[in-house]
Amino acid sequence: MLIAVCAGYLLVLMDYSVVNVSLHTIQQRFGAAADGLQWTVNAYEILFGALLLPAGFLADRCGHRRVLIGGLVLFGLASAGMVTSDRIGEVIAWRVLMGVGGSAIPVTTLAVLQSVPSLAGALRPVSLWAAMPGASFALGPIFGGACAGSWGWWAPFLVNLPLALVCALVVGRYAADSPRIRAAKLDWPGVLLVISSVGMLLLAVSRSGAVSWLDLSVAGPVCISAGLAVCLVKVELKHKTPVLDLRLFRDRLFAAGTACVALAFFSLAGAIFLVPAYLQVIRGQAVFEASLSIVGLACGSAPGSLLAGRVQRRFGPRIAGMTAMVTLAAGLGGFAAMGSATSLPSTWLWFVLAGAGFGMTGAVSTPLTMSSVPLTRVGTATGTATLTRTVSSALSVALLGTVCSFDDRASIAALREFRTALWITAGTAAAGAFVAASYFPRKGSPWLLSGSCSPSSSPSWPHGSGAASPPR
């Protein structure tokens, strides 16, 4: 059950990057223009990000197990449908359906894990689940390159079908139905505002790499997204069961854990975007050779996630969270100190160190975040946290891309910009260490994952009176 849930989660995360290695082949196969290739990537990212919150809200109403199975089946069938495409428009349409199905998986997998009695309340399963984003950063391009190089551009998507269906069968066989909010009124205004606001923001971010932020195609969607976000906040504050539950952020544990994960994603996403370009432009490596260096990230992420549980039990969440963010900052600082003649083993070392810090951050922050959430709202809470880190990753790539752009200029100027951008990521990770030091509980503090995310728990908030009035 644990393998199936983590594998399904890993599949949808890898599809962020698995298509990138096949873009050139897709262009030759369909004669696609640049905007067609761009939408091949953006269609999945925008739908995936925009539907996270609605998918989590739907899971809380209809059952996490049902929504997870439906998401896996739709994701697998849409992936296989890519093989039947005859035009680039059909490829984009299938990618849209993949994004719709994929959005249901991150927001339900953690709740489904907690429905298994032998896994409920345990830190190790959550640590493994939290390690999947770090692993996907490294495995996505390698998996896509290996499949596409051996068979064709369509191979990575065809492989998704049997894997997704097997995961769905295992979940259907072993997962239990979780408590649902049966009497909740569907928050249609909130759903539409979330989809519109997040979709506009991600659309603007996807365009920012090609044109200036002041261009109408970027500035327009940003302004529209901001206006819709203001309306969303006003609507959600009045709704009894909102799709975006802003009350969650009034709880110190949820807010601090979500902030640390978002800062970690912002830091690492920028590094993964810039370091391979550094290796190609400054060091003269081939594309595939440069992408292999990211394997060090997975080599550090998984052990870091498992180590986090021991550190947390020995020293408490506060020390574990600080250690995680400082380790991540140290790895990113190592990248910032690299020069034009830095040895390649050093690059691997910094990726391993950054991966270990990233894995530890997720493994410590995720249980802390969900410890204050009743099981009936895990879908909404997970969707909120996942959306936060998705947006932070997208903004990192867009903003740091304006700081450092590798082009045909002198390598000295490019290296200077690269170092500036990486010092920004290291500083962001250091800010996460400050958040952990200030707001994470010390050892012995009364917080328990099993106290709020187990099927038998009541919808109460730690350190407070009840779910209707969470503590500030």
Q: DSSP characters for 42-59?
A: HHHHHHHHHTHHHHHHHH
Which amino acid is residue 48, in one-letter code? F
| Higher-pLDDT residue of 392, 134 | 392
Q: Which range is most confident: 103-112, 362-371, 463-472?
A: 103-112
Joined tokens for residue 188: 């249609």
Residue 413 above 70 pLDDT? yes
Structure pTM?
A: 0.81
Picking from 105-119, 370-384, 439-453, which range would have the lowest pLDDT averaged per residue?
439-453
Residue 471 above 70 pLDDT? no
Residue 313 above 50 pLDDT? yes
How do residues 144-191 score in pLDDT, each as one tens digit? 777 877 788 888 889 899 999 999 999 998 887 766 666 556 778 888
Picking from 162-166, 278-282, 306-310, 372-376, which range would have the lowest pLDDT averaged per residue?
372-376
pLDDT category, 436, cuts 50, 70, 90? Answer: very high
Query: What distance in Å separates the CA atoms of residue 333 and residue 310, rounded to the nearest whole number?
Result: 26
How do residues 63-77 score in pLDDT, each as one tens digit? 889 999 999 999 999
CB 103 within 8 A of CB 48: yes
How many CB atoms neighbour CB 239 within 10 A? 16
Note the pLDDT of residue 460.
37
CB 421 within 8 A of CB 404: yes
Note the pLDDT of residue 12.
92
Note the pLDDT of residue 410.
55
Joined tokens for residue 332: 């990113």
Residue 463 above 70 pLDDT? no
Query: What distance in Å separates the CA atoms of residue 392 and residue 396, rounded to the nearest whole number?
Result: 6
Q: How far apart are the first and last CA of the chain?
A: 37
Joined tokens for residue 16: 């962020």
Query: What distance in Å separates the CA atoms of residue 52 and residue 41, rounded to the nearest whole number?
Result: 17
How do residues 371-387 score in pLDDT, each as one tens digit? 777 777 788 888 888 88
